[in-house]
Structures are given as structure tokens and as C-alpha cells.
Structure 1
């Protein structure tokens, strides 16, 4: 097997994962559209825009030529924003070979089709969706590049593909578990960004720990409910891709989704928030997708629904909170149907 891995594209998470691969003595070629960024990575071994002050391994090189990046690679890791995933996968198609291991680490949906990222990739590459591997879990790029202990999960319907991905990434500071529930891992990674936005908004409103604890707990119930309806294993949402990723994304200032929500809670407008961030905030697009997914599946997602109104219909954050707190009284388990209960315990 070739020791070369291609990484598409050179953002913060792609760069951090490239560093893990390089630490495992693999040769990494990152593809980027930016000639200046490629030159910086190759000559200075830095990627200042996305990971300031991080020193990259000489094993990591960069190019703007996708054919050069992918040629001879045994695995291709795609870490494009969800909005760019189809375009990147389409460009990869001309260089893709069936024996390549395809991994993605993007947490979101294609808003136009409401498809998961593995579906988008398999459609463009014309390969079986089950052969694609998703990498997810509680993992800030800023900490991974510093070799802080981190634990993630790789999921695929194909056991051998998941284990191959596990072998690529596993090392002393980056522990990797496998999971067969690819749908659940993808859904958990995407939906938790919505709750992280809400947690940041709560902090921006100075609502304190009680409110945020309730938001995370009810948010987890909400994303588990829609996840099970879409075919996921409910246990996935209590694992690394679920509650693990939710906690790290909703409680850390490293999180773009938390920071964006905090700024919105402090009264800033969405466009101003996005301009100030300078990087993609996946939770914005995911909230939009969740609004239509919940309607498609007939599943209530009250937190996501209120955030949709704040982001896209100019509802004030305080009004959204009042709407959530003023919902009709319920028992905590009322949202679970008998059918769902039986699925959990079958």
C-alpha cells in the first residue's frame, strides 16, 4: 500500500488531520485552490490563516493541482465545507480509482438536496456509499495540531474500510474507534452544530449554566429523535460522535459555532457575524437543512426551529427563548413513541 495520502482541502481541520497522518510517517499532499497558501505550506511549513503559529511537518506538502495531489495516493481525505463538497468530489472523479480509501471529515448537509456528505461523495464518484468512511468526534483542530490527547470515531458500512481508516490515523495521542452506524455518526456530527449555536447564543445572552445544561440535554434528545427516524442507531448519539462532540462544540471558545452563537446573542447581525468569523460556520447551513428535514420526516425539533427563525427570519434571540420556555407542558419522555422505545430496546 502506498504511504501517500491526499487531503482535500487545506483548512484548519484538514491541516490538523494531515498533521496526524504525517506523525504516523505518511506522506501527505494537501490540495488547495490558493497558490499563496500552497507556497506557504511548502516553504514555511505553516498555515497561518487557519492554524496560526502551528509548525507543520515537512512530510506535509501542498499543491493546487488535484491530479498531482491524488496520483499514487492509497487514501483520499476530503475535508471540504459542506457547501463545496459536491464541487470537490466532482473534481476528484477524474482521478479517483476504486481501490482508493475515501474518508471524509465534514459535518453538515447539502442544503439543496438535504443529503449527507457520504451520499454526495458517492453520487459524484459513482461508488457505493457504504465504502465511504466518515471521521467524526470531539476534536478541535487547534488541540489536535498540538498533539493534545484526542479520541474520535470512524464509521462505514464496510468494516474493512473503517478499520483501514482507523489504522491510518491511530497513534499515541489520537485514538480512533470504529462504528458501523455511518448514518448516525454523520447525523450526530452535523446536528450538534445547531445546538452549539444555541449554546453560544445562551452564553451571549448571559443566561448562565442552568440554561445551557438544559439546552444541551434537550438538544441531544432532539437530534437523537430525528436521527432514529432517519435510520440511525440511538446509541450512537450517546457516544463520541454524539454527546462527545456536542459537549466540546457547545462549551469551547475554539468552536466557530459557539462563537457565532455568542455574537448573535450579544445582538450582532448574522451577516456581520459571518464576516467577522472569516471561516465557514457549518451550523448556519445545518440549521437551514434541519428545518426542512424535520418537516420531511414529521419530527419536532423545537430548538432547531427557533434557531431557524433567529437566523433566517429575524426573530430576536430572547423571543426565541421565550417561545421555547412557553411550550405546552410535557413529560420528559413524552416525545418517545412506543415504536421508538421498542427500537431502542430491540
Structure 2
């Protein structure tokens, strides 16, 4: 049994808390919202993020970040990607040394174009061997109901991989190991952008053929980009790549897909923001992913048009027209 501090009391942090309790771990969730924390402790629910779900009575929560970090033998990050740096700076003074840090964040930092583990290293000056990630086709609203699912545990340190397999394995949540941390992080960040593209196409009234085009060609862009930064291109054919992308691009539960649909229907980023009020990571990561592609000379036309659409410099119709004029190269 491990003592795990989950930093983040939203849908995903709470869901992973339940998974770890089910796997036999002792879990303490940290969150800012006093009402959410009180409800987890007293009512064993989190109706703000997970309506109609009864949580395990063993799952506890606190608003005291210092108490959460002192409790921990393992630290799990489950906060919005673009808030990671600010939070780590605030916590740095009492962040434990030598403990494993597992990221569940999917995104690229806008200002620096850093992957999430790079942000952790930059702020906390921790060794890469302490870091790991959990990623894959993981929609919280399904996993919280204990529907069968799988995820990838990635780290450059085999001990961290073994630890994550132990922490998260249950009879409904299956963990696959990977040593390709970079590839898994790129896949998790980029799927949000490609899911936006699929949502835009659906919102414009296009069908399965167009969606298949966006998914497969988008995956090809991401694989080329990841490989340019040292990733194994085969990673993008597994759960962390195509698995996560299909779940995000095809499910109405996906924020990125839903946001893209509104954007495709209305042609307005303002209206999309008004209708989908939750954090939509693809909106933030699109420009950062494009900058990473430019740095290594990788052509990424789908990522590029999504970046332009969410920036308000290109409308969805013109975006599709541009994609259909991109020069054709070998499919694989």
C-alpha cells in the first residue's frame, strides 16, 4: 500500500483517487474548493464534477497543500496543464524531495512550449528519474463507473513504471508499461488538437469519411513531430496515441470534440467559449504544438489550421479548403 497525494479535486483527480483506492492504496486529495473537499469527506461524492456518483468512503480530501504533501509517498498531479507552473512555484518551498511525481496532465505550456514533465523539472529541479506519466483513452465519466479501460504508464525509470502498474491496476483499469515518456506526452497533448479538428468537421456537417481523414492524417502529423523530438513512432499506434485520439475525437464526452463542434457550427470562437465553459486544452496547446513543429521543420497542416481557427485568424470553411489543397505525399 502506498500513500498517494492527488493534487487536484476535479473529475480526473477524483476518478484516479477512486481507482487507487480500489487498487488498495491510501489516497488524500488536495483541492482549493472547500465545498468540494467537504463533500468528498462528508457525503463521499463530488457532485460538481461527477454527478450521481458515490465515492469510496476511504477516499479523503484536504484544502491544506502542506498536509497533503507531508502525507505523500507518491505525488500525483491532476490540475489543469496551464496552471502547473504557477502552482509548483507556490508549492516549491515545501515540496518533498526524492518522492516519485506522476503527471496526468495532457498539454504543452503556452509560454515555453514545454511538455508537462519539463515544466516540473524546470520549476522543481528534479531528476528525470523521479518522473512518470499516466495517459491513454481515459474519459473520467466512464472510468468513475468502473467501465473497462486501459492506460499507459510511461517513465524513463523502470521503478516508476512498476510503481504505477501497482498503484493503478484494478479489475477494470489495465495498465500497459512504456519507456517512451516523450512520445506518450506528445501523444496526449496533440490528441486534444486533432480532436478539435474532428469536432469542427462534425459541427460543419461532415460525416465519417472526413472524421477518418482528420484522425489518421492528424495522427501521422503527431507521429512525425514526436519522432523529431526523440519519440518512438510506434508509440502513436498504441493506447497513448491512436487509443487516446479515437476516444477524444469520437466521444461527445470529450471537451475538445464538443468545443470543436460548436466552433464548426457557429464559426465563432467566442460562442464556443461561451457554450463550453470547462477547460479545453486543445485551444491552448494548438499554437504551442505548431511552434514545436516549426522548430524542427515538420509539416503539420491540421495542427496549423486548428491553431489559426482558435486564434480567430481563419474560419472553419477556409480551414477545410486549405487542408484539401495541401500537397499529397505518401500515406505512411
**Which TM-score applies when normalising by structure 1?**
0.93
Matched residue of 2:171: which SS?
Answer: coil
- Select between 21-30 and 6-15 the one with higher mean Cα deviation: 21-30
User: Could you tell me how far apart the structure 1 residues matched to 2:252 and 2:129 are?
Assistant: 35
User: Could you tell me how far apart the structure 2 residues matched to 1:296 and 1:118 are?
Assistant: 20
Indicate the residue corresponding to 2:183 in structure 1.
184
Matched residue of 2:266: which SS?
Answer: coil
- Select between 220-229 and 62-71 the one with higher mean Cα deviation: 62-71
How far the C-alpha of 1:268 sits from its partner, in A, is 5.2
Q: Do 1:26 and 1:59's aligned partners in 2 also have CA atoms closer than 8 Å?
A: no
Deviations along 1:65-123, one digit per CA (max 9) or x if unpaired, are 10111213111100111111112223333333334221010000111010010011122
The ranges of structure 1 where at least 4 consecutive aligned residues each deviate by more than 4 angstroms after the TM superposition are none
Q: Which runs of 5+ in 2 are unaligned?
A: none
User: Could you tell me how far apart the structure 1 residues matched to 2:212 and 2:28 are?
Assistant: 41
Indicate the residue corresponding to 1:73 in structure 2.
72
Matched residue of 1:89: which SS?
Answer: helix
- Give the number of equivalent residue pairs: 332
User: Could you tell me how far apart the structure 2 residues matched to 1:39 and 1:27 are?
Assistant: 18
Is 1:272 the counterpart of 2:310? The answer is: no
Indicate the residue corresponding to 1:16 in structure 2.
15
How far the C-alpha of 1:321 sits from its partner, in A, is 0.2
Is 1:294 the counterpart of 2:271? The answer is: no
Is 1:319 the counterpart of 2:301? The answer is: no
Indicate the residue corresponding to 1:303 in structure 2.
302
Indicate the residue corresponding to 1:151 in structure 2.
150
Q: 1:92 to 1:330 in 2, by over 3 A?
A: same
Q: Which runs of 5+ in 1 are unaligned?
A: 334-346
**Correspondence 1:1-346 to 2 at 5 A:** 3-267=2-266, 269-333=268-332
Deviations along 1:232-269, one digit per CA (max 9) or x if unpaired, are 00110011100110111100011000000011011152
User: Could you tell me how far apart the structure 2 residues matched to 1:92 and 1:154 are?
Assistant: 25
How far the C-alpha of 1:166 sits from its partner, in A, is 1.2
Q: 1:327 to 1:3 in 2, by over 3 A?
A: closer
Matched residue of 2:71: which SS?
Answer: coil
Deviations along 1:216-237, one digit per CA (max 9) or x if unpaired, are 1101101001110011001100
Q: 1:269 to 1:3 in 2, by over 3 A?
A: same
**Which TM-score applies when normalising by structure 2?**
0.96
How far the C-alpha of 1:33 sits from its partner, in A, is 1.2
Q: Do 1:74 and 1:99's aligned partners in 2 also have CA atoms closer than 8 Å?
A: no
User: Could you tell me how far apart the structure 1 residues matched to 2:315 and 2:206 are?
Assistant: 15
User: Could you tell me how far apart the structure 1 residues matched to 2:107 and 2:34 are?
Assistant: 27
Q: 1:183 to 1:329 in 2, by over 3 A?
A: closer
Q: Do 2:100 and 2:160's aligned partners in 1 also have CA atoms closer than 8 Å?
A: yes
Indicate the residue corresponding to 1:337 in structure 2.
none
Report the aligned-residue RMSD: 1.4
